[in-house]
A and B are shown apart, each in its own frame.
Chain A
């Protein structure tokens, strides 16, 4: 079974530019999560999809971040315009079971974003 994949693995952009990160969850996993780790801090939750619906976006830092999961398969996270403090590693995770049931979240390798 293929794991969670993320693209690109690294992205270096200038402040004010737009970047789109992609996540492909494990096949059959309805739950998809985005997390972020900025330098020196802990990994923090951004949002949670069940299929194509946003269930919890309480962790999204501001309206410069837009996540989508059209069709309930892969997801994109767009940052527009990017700011210096957006630099960090963006992880995607997926899990199989319905919301409310404890389930293992499997993480992708992350996208390392650097904003100059």
Chain B
């Protein structure tokens, strides 16, 4: 079983749609949780950290359920510029553990 598993994707949605990504992790000792965004042939960039209380940043909402070892990302009112690969990332110790990523394609 992979340490971090994500929806296989790709997700193809029209502009304005709401899309949700899910992720599960296997290490119950994981301490920190993140969503990173990676554009084609670019480096991963932190999108947002994820907290148990849930957190929102504009059109993006992230949730963490420690009991279920489940993380989610909701994107509302999708924009063309949201097209990218979204990486679910957990941290145990200092190393980041990445999922394979879910590709989102937003079309007009």
The residues of A with any CB-CB pair to B shorter than 8 Å are 4, 31, 33, 35, 41-45, 48, 55-56, 58-59, 91, 93, 99-100, 102, 104-110
Contacts and interface: CB of A to CB of B under 8 A. Distances in A.
Contacts of A55: 94
B99 A42 contact: yes
Contacts of A43: 44, 87, 96, 98
B45 to A, nearest CB: 7
Given A42-B4, A43-B87, A56 B95 contact: yes
Interface residues of B, number: 20
26 contacts: A31-B94, A33-B94, A33-B96, A35-B98, A42-B2, A42-B4, A42-B99, A42-B100, A43-B87, A43-B98, A45-B97, A48-B94, A56-B93, A56-B95, A59-B95, A91-B43, A91-B44, A99-B94, A102-B31, A102-B32, A104-B46, A105-B46, A105-B96, A107-B43, A107-B44, A108-B43
B33 to A, nearest CB: 10
Contacts of A100: 94
Q: Which of B42, B43, B87, B97 neighbours the largest number of chain A CB atoms within 10 Å of its CB?
A: B43
A104 B2 CA distance: 23
Contacts of A99: 94
Nearest to A99: B94
B44 A45 contact: no
A107 B45 contact: yes
A58 B6 CA distance: 24
A109 B96 contact: no
A99 B31 CA distance: 13
Contacts of B93: 56
A110 B94 contact: no
Contact of B96 (A4, A35, A110): A35
